[in-house]
Amino acid sequence: MSLDSATRQRSTWTPLTGAAHSIAVEVLLDGPLPRSELARRLDLSAGSLTRLSKPLLDSGLLVETRGVCDPASGRITRPLDVDDTRDAFVGVKLTADTAHAVLTTLRAEVVAEREVPLADRSPGHVSRTVAALVGELDALDPRPVRAVGVGLGGRVGAGGVVDSARYLGWEDVPFGGPMEDLLGVPVVVDNDVLSLTRAEQWFGSARRCGHFAVVVVGMGIGYGLVVHDQVVDQPDSAVGLLGHHPVDPHGPLCPAGHVGCADAVLTTGALTARAGLALRRPVTVAEVLDLAEQGEPLARRVVDDAALALGTLVAAVGNFTMPERVVVSGENARLAEVGRAALEAGIRAGRNPLATDLPVDVQLTGFSEWARGAAVTAIRTFVLGSRR
Ligand SMILES: [Zn+2]
């Protein structure tokens, strides 16, 4: 399938560079914004701002909102905002057995979602499944889909080639290019944790924060880092380095032979194995967290031990990379809420007493948020013109 021709006519946001582009991005991330605030942020004179924003208003990229009193000048002003009615994006999160897709606005608000099982993991079948999902979501909304993001657990090279995605059984699979041929819009394939980090940076709790880290606790342990407003995107960003950091000297072994690494203590498999032993029956992570909240002592012990280990991990992240804040994300991020006291004890124990407080945000992340992360890579491609 292919999206309609109107979609293909406008595959990037213009202008892509210069002060006009900076105005548009500021308004996208924080709008509506009064002109005086924009001029201050971008160090522009009022005249320059008027001159630069005029073509953006004429083209319909920006719109003027209802008049308000500008606190800076005391005059009535009409703040600038982006026109959110012109563009839509699709983000897809691939797991070993499902494709979960969301349709979003330019500001990454989810307007619809779909999930389908993957009957097999061959690249051809997955491409066709993703294309069908995009077509289905595109038909639901009058805004044309401008770009598509696909997030997966694995290493993705230039041009959307998946270097390796173990759980899909893919090695050196050209995925982004064939998907673009199928859909006729830009398709950005990205590591899922990096996508989530990019989403946090633009539209999440760490938005406008120039230096922060994301620690993902779920089926695996993930780590994303933003330094000087840039997402650190290296080949090793996608191999799960943080997962093998030691967090408990008495913990179990991981498959790579480490004693008490984060992978062996904090993943879904590790948590359910420990809780299953303690409670003498199979349990899910959600159940253990519920039981701990209800005061069940064994579940509380399991949760507090894991949250303490998570605190050790967060402290290490803080010590090595000195972020302004850490976002704990992923399917099991609720561990940081239910075990908050133990998490903070772990952080304190692992930090120099002279160190500043390390704020920890908790973002509960289900498939919808993972897919939204992939949509944000698509939005960034559309807005910035670069692939990731
Ligand atoms: Zn390990």
Measured in Å, residue 180 CA sits from the centre of ligand 1 at: 37
Domain boundary among 82, 98, 120: 82
Strands (E), 212-299: 212-217, 221-227, 230-231
Measured in Å, residue 313 CA sits from the centre of ligand 1 at: 13
Measured in Å, residue 266 CA sits from the centre of ligand 1 at: 11
Are 58 and 73 members of one domain?
Answer: yes
Measured in Å, residue 217 CA sits from the centre of ligand 1 at: 14
User: What is the reported pLDDT for 363?
Assistant: 92
Burial 86-121 (b: 16+ CB within 10 A, else e): ebbbbbbbbbeeebbbbbbbbebeeeebbeeebeee
Domain boundary among 30, 54, 82: 82
Residue 256 tokens, joined: 């790579």
Give mean pLDDT, residues 210-228: 95
**pTM, whole model, 2 decimals?**
0.90
User: What is the reported pLDDT for 5?
Assistant: 46
Measured in Å, residue 253 CA sits from the centre of ligand 1 at: 7
CA distance 28 to 14: 13
CA distance 381 to 298: 48
Are 41 and 12 members of one domain?
Answer: yes
Are 173 and 209 members of one domain?
Answer: no
**Model pLDDT for residues 139-166, shown as the tens digit of each residue:** 999 999 999 999 999 999 888 999 999 8
Name the domain count of the chain.
3
Are 165 and 302 members of one domain?
Answer: no
Give mean pLDDT, residues 348-373: 93
Measured in Å, residue 279 CA sits from the centre of ligand 1 at: 25
Domain boundary among 57, 82, 107: 82
Are 223 and 126 members of one domain?
Answer: no
Q: Is pLDDT at 372 greater than 70 in this prediction?
A: yes
Q: Where does the pLDDT of residue 7 fall: very low under 50, low under 70, confident under 90, or very high at 90 and above?
A: very low
Domain that holds residue 125: 88-198+368-384
Are 78 and 159 members of one domain?
Answer: no
Domain with 188 in it: what CATH number?
3.30.420.40
Measured in Å, residue 42 CA sits from the centre of ligand 1 at: 46
Are 46 and 99 members of one domain?
Answer: no
Are 185 and 211 members of one domain?
Answer: no
Are 141 and 218 members of one domain?
Answer: no
- Chain centroid to CA 48: how far? 35
Measured in Å, residue 364 CA sits from the centre of ligand 1 at: 24
Measured in Å, residue 234 CA sits from the centre of ligand 1 at: 21
